[in-house]
Amino acid sequence: MKICVYPGSFDPITSGHMDIIKRSSAMFDKLIIGILNNQSKMPCLTTEKRLYYINKCIEKYDNVEVLSFEGLLVDFAKQIGAKYIVRGLRALSDFEIEMQMSAMNKRMYPEVETVFLMTDTKYSFLSSSMVRDVGRFGGDFSGLVPDEILGELSERLVQTN
């Protein structure tokens, strides 16, 4: 069974993330979205809220699940039996950083392969931090996040301003 992990903070999940989820779920037997619970960052959304939002967005995918983890990605990948890591790329600057992380992951877990997917060009500018900024100030971010969470997320982000 080909198990793949798609790691990230997903704070919040965006339409760009969903583009990668849709495409990578078709490539692997099982896709696990791994929400990194990084104590050094101050996320806008709690891990529980991010799990909730992502679960709402992936209901139609039978082979996708979401879990949270702390620590090294390679340790999480080993724990869940993943031999593949998928990473979305928006621009050349993403590739440089992702290539370095991929090399380090391969050094620590030689059996793992990193698969890079270019996001759809209509999402090449999109990031979770941009969504948070637009949402905090009451801007319209329809199309930037999945419809399943648009209204609820909009209300939540305005409250954090």
**How many angstroms separate the CA atoms of 61 and 100, rounded?**
31
**Phi, psi (5° rounding) for residue 41?**
-100, 155
| Residue 156 designated active-site | no
DSSP state of 148: G
| Residue 128 designated active-site | yes
| Residue 17 designated active-site | yes
Catalytic residue from among 41, 124, 129, 142: 41
Question: 104 in helix, strand or coil?
Answer: helix
| Helix, strand, coil abundance in the chain, percent, nearest 5 | 45, 20, 35
Catalytic residue from among 15, 17, 87, 154: 17
Catalytic residue from among 9, 15, 102, 128: 128
**How many angstroms separate the CA atoms of 130 and 161, rounded?**
14
Say if residues 131 and 142 touch (Cβ distance below 8 Å): no
| Residue 90 designated active-site | yes
C-alpha to C-alpha distances, 44 to 41, 108, 134, 139, 142, nearest whole angstrom: 9, 31, 13, 17, 19
Catalytic residue from among 56, 83, 90, 106: 90
Report, as residue numbers or ranges, the catalytic residues: 17, 41, 90, 128
